[in-house]
Every structure is written in C-alpha cells, then in structure tokens.
Amino acid sequence: MEPKPKKGAAPSSVLQRLPNLKLKMVSGADLYEIYHYFLDHFGENDEFMQMGVQTSSPMIEEILTQIARSIFKENVRPPQRSRIIRIPERGFLHGSCIFKGRMASFFYFEDIDSGMAAFLSLQSPDRTEMARFSIRTPGKRATVENN
C-alpha cells in the first residue's frame, strides 16, 4: 500500500500521485477504495487543497444533481455551497457541495471523462453512497454508476 504523503510535502510530489488515482479510476471496481485513496493522498493534504483555481462547472453540478436524484429518489434542488477547484495543467477538478443536508465530495479527470462522487450523511457517517460518472459520452447523456 502506498504511504500517505507527509504533511508539508511539496505540491509537485502530491501531483505525482494523480496518475495512480487515474489508473484506479479506469481499472478499479471498488469505489470505496478509490475514494479513500483520493482522501488519503489528496483530500487530507493542505498543500493540494490550496492548488488550482476556483471555477464553475454547470456540467459537474448537473451530474451531481442527477446522482442526488438517484440517491434520494426524488427531485432535488441544485447543489448548495458548491465549491469546484480546477487544476488546469492536469485537467483535474475536485470539490464539494451540499444536497438535502448531505455533503457531496467529488473529483473528475477531463482527459478520460471519468469521475466519482461520494455523498456523505452528516447525521450518519456510515451512510456514504458512491457513484462513478462520465459527462461527455458522444451521442448520449451523462452516465452514472452507483455503488
């Protein structure tokens, strides 16, 4: 198992782990394992969280809304407190938002059109639901795979 980056690790050393995450996205079946890799190596790294630029992405917000509708089995409003960060030189987006009291955390690789989202219950942490998604499938709508 790959060790977590040390606190204060150089941002470039953290970015060197993105190819590993991308490989897990295309070859991994266990969404919980993929998400925990993201958290352990990126989400809990202060330097990484300061990288990139805040942006907007209607496509990301729409796919997250579709996933939320699937999870809640009802129509939901667009996300609240949406924060989307893009690292342009890596074509990587990540961020979070809130749907009906549940935090959604996500990441997305533009070059392979693959991302995943985790919907965490703020009241019951053991009720996390995961979904892998793609946005730009030619001739089709965005796709969602729940786990």
The 3-state secondary structure of 20-47, one letter per residue: HHHHHHHHCCCHHHHHHHHHHHHHCCHH
Residue 5 lies in a domain: no
At 140, phi and psi to the nearest 5?
Answer: -135, 165
Q: One-letter amino acid identity for 59?
A: M
Residue 90 lies in a domain: yes
- Specify the pairing of strand 129-134 against strand 53-55: unpaired
Please tell me the total count of domains within the chain.
Answer: 1
| C-alpha–C-alpha distance, residues 65 and 32, integer Å | 20
Q: H or E stretch including 11?
A: helix 11-15
Residue 2 lies in a domain: no
Q: What confidence score (pLDDT) does residue 125 get?
A: 65
Instruction: Please count the other Cβ atoms lying within 10 Å of the Cβ belonging to residue 98.
Output: 15
In the block, tokens 């989307």 appear at 84
- Reading phi first (left if > 0) and then psi (alpha if -120 to 50, else beta), residue 52 is in left
Residue 65 lies in a domain: yes
Q: What confidence score (pLDDT) does residue 73 get?
A: 87
Tens of pLDDT along the chain (147 residues) come to 444 444 444 456 778 889 999 999 999 999 999 999 998 888 877 778 788 899 999 999 999 999 999 988 888 888 889 999 999 989 999 999 998 878 999 999 999 999 999 998 767 767 788 999 998 755 555 555 555
Which residue range(s) make up the domain with 35? Answer: 11-146
Tokens of 123: 């009241």
Provide the CB-side half-sphere exposure for 93 (13 A, CA). 24
